[in-house]
Amino acid sequence: MGHSVTILGIESSCDDTAAAVVRGVPGVGGGEILSSIVAGQEDLHAAFGGVVPEIAARAHAERLDICVQRALEKSGVALADIDAIAVTSGPGLIGGVISGVMSAKALAAGSGKPVIGINHLAGHALTPRLTNGLEFPYLMLLVSGGHCQFIAVEGPDSFKRMGGTIDDAPGEAFDKTAKLLALGYPGGPEVEREAAKGDAKRFKFPRPLLDRKGCDMSFSGLKTALRRERDRIVVEKSGLTVQDRSDLCAGFQLAIADVLTEKSRRACASFKQTYKTNTAIIAVAGGVAANTLIRTQLTDMADAQGFTFLAPPLGLCTDNAAMIAWAGIEQMGLPDFDPNAEIVARPRWPLDRDAKPMLGSGKKGAKA
């Protein structure tokens, strides 16, 4: 068994500025979070109904050093005693990613510590290793504002995509729905709050791609269907009642949950057939994993399929730096780990490098 290392993690890929200190043994599951600081930006973006990249990047530049200082102070570990700095170097909003990468490089230059570039999605995918010490392989559903994928996690740097969204991510669909219905930001919690007061059976929303085999998903058509229902009601009644809005939210949320549940069932069946493991586990991460209905349906589905459903604490489902620090610890356990590898900020960085791009490709690389 190797020796314990202590890593400073930095995360700034979207609208959360975060820093954390995590301790663990490379190659061994289970770590200790000594501190985890997250500075949200909801107040900066609420008026726009979504994240404004330029505002997010400026906020990261202003807050990163404060978050790092607080994380070090709370952990009781001095920068001189840190073994390495792990930083999200993609994918994400490029202004925020650059802010984090440059901060990490500056800290490294001043302290002489190595910097490890981390794929943000790998941070999410490896979180169950941090919290529960899972053994490889396991199935991960990453479901957030910008991503939705089923991933077979085979190792610290080995990921096989089993399916994903071909257009909008569920979190994006929740945010856009909240904006269509004049709700607040972030949209997920607002839609869930309204849905609790609504009748989910009043509107017959579609369940896209359930008629196709496989685990791929689509959510843009569902969002369009909600907009059409909203417009129809507005024409008929000259506006939406409070109950109309609640019923729309309830129907929309149930449709999302049904799609994720059925596609997860298919992913579980495929995973079990491929890996033939006796300890079948499906884990979930990402902001949408906080939705109570989705968690409940996924838990019931997993039980029916003979899987254990695992959801990390909510603070580790959403963007955070503890998962980035842990991914750095995992990287240090690889035989070919290079502490001097070049760190490049990337707006796109698919986990499964061998998979065909789902959302197209371009000069900046495959989107997912």
Q: Can you spell out the DSSP letters for 296-364?
A: HHHHHHHHHHT-EEE---HHHHSS-SHHHHHHHHHHHTSTT--TT------S---S-TTSPPSS---TT
Give the confidence band of 367 by pLDDT, cuts at 50, 70, 90.
Answer: low
Asked whether the beta carbons of 291 and 188 are under 8 A apart, the reply is: yes
Q: Which segment of 85-99, 245-259, 328-342, 351-365 scores lowest on mean pLDDT?
A: 351-365
* Pair of tokens at residue 186: 């972030």
- Phi and psi, residue 175, nearest 5°: -65, -45
What is the layout of strands, in order, in the sheet containing 148-155? 158-164, 148-155, 138-143, 281-285, 308-310
Give the confidence band of 188 by pLDDT, cuts at 50, 70, 90.
Answer: very high
Whole-number pLDDT of residue 368: 53
Give the confidence band of 78 by pLDDT, cuts at 50, 70, 90.
Answer: very high
Query: Which residue has better confidence, 31 or 358?
Result: 31
Residue percentage of the chain with pLDDT more than 90: 83
Give CATH superfamily name and number for 5-133+316-332.
Answer: ATPase, nucleotide binding domain (3.30.420.40)
With CA atoms as reference, report the closest residue to 136 among 288, 354, 334: 334
Instruction: Look up tokens 């890929």; give the residue.
Output: 13
Whole-number pLDDT of residue 146: 80
- Phi and psi, residue 303, nearest 5°: -60, -45
The rounded distance, in Å, linking the Cα atoms of 200 and 210 is 19
Query: What average pLDDT does the segment 88-108 reach?
Result: 96
Whole-number pLDDT of residue 176: 92
For residue 233, pLDDT over 70 is answered with: yes
For residue 2, pLDDT over 80 is answered with: no
184-218: buried (b, 16+ CB within 10 Å) or exposed (e) per residue?
ebbbbbbbbebbeebebeebebebbbeeeeebbbb
- Start and end residues for every CATH 3.30.420.40 domain found in the chain: 5-133+316-332, 138-314
The rounded distance, in Å, linking the Cα atoms of 299 and 278 is 18
Give Dmax over CA atoms of the chain in angstroms. Answer: 69
For residue 362, pLDDT over 90 is answered with: no
Asked whether the beta carbons of 208 and 225 are under 8 A apart, the reply is: no
- Residue 110's Cβ-count burial label (10 Å; 0-12, 13-18, 19+) is exposed
Whole-number pLDDT of residue 361: 46
Give the confidence band of 363 by pLDDT, cuts at 50, 70, 90.
Answer: very low
Average pLDDT value over all residues in the chain: 93
Counts of helices then strands in the chain (DSSP H, E): 11, 10
Query: What average pLDDT does the segment 40-44 reach?
Result: 89
Contacts of 19 (CB under 8 A, 6+ apart): 8, 9, 10, 11, 37, 64, 67, 68, 70, 71, 321
Asked whether the beta carbons of 328 and 83 are under 8 A apart, the reply is: no
Asked whether the beta carbons of 329 and 7 are under 8 A apart, the reply is: yes
For residue 153, pLDDT over 60 is answered with: yes
For residue 189, pLDDT over 90 is answered with: yes
DSSP-assigned beta bridge partners for residue 117:
87
Q: Which segment of 78-82, 132-136, 154-158, 359-363 scores lowest on mean pLDDT?
A: 359-363
Q: Options 3.30.420.40, 3.50.30.10, 3.40.50.1980, 2.40.110.10; which CATH number does 138-314 get?
A: 3.30.420.40
Whole-number pLDDT of residue 358: 66
For residue 148, pLDDT over 50 is answered with: yes
Question: How do residues 283-334 score in pLDDT, each as one tens digit?
Answer: 998 888 889 999 999 999 999 999 999 998 888 988 999 999 999 999 999 9
Whole-number pLDDT of residue 48: 85
Query: Which residue has better confidence, 163 or 278?
Result: 163
The rounded distance, in Å, linking the Cα atoms of 196 and 249 is 9
Query: What average pLDDT does the segment 220-233 reach?
Result: 95
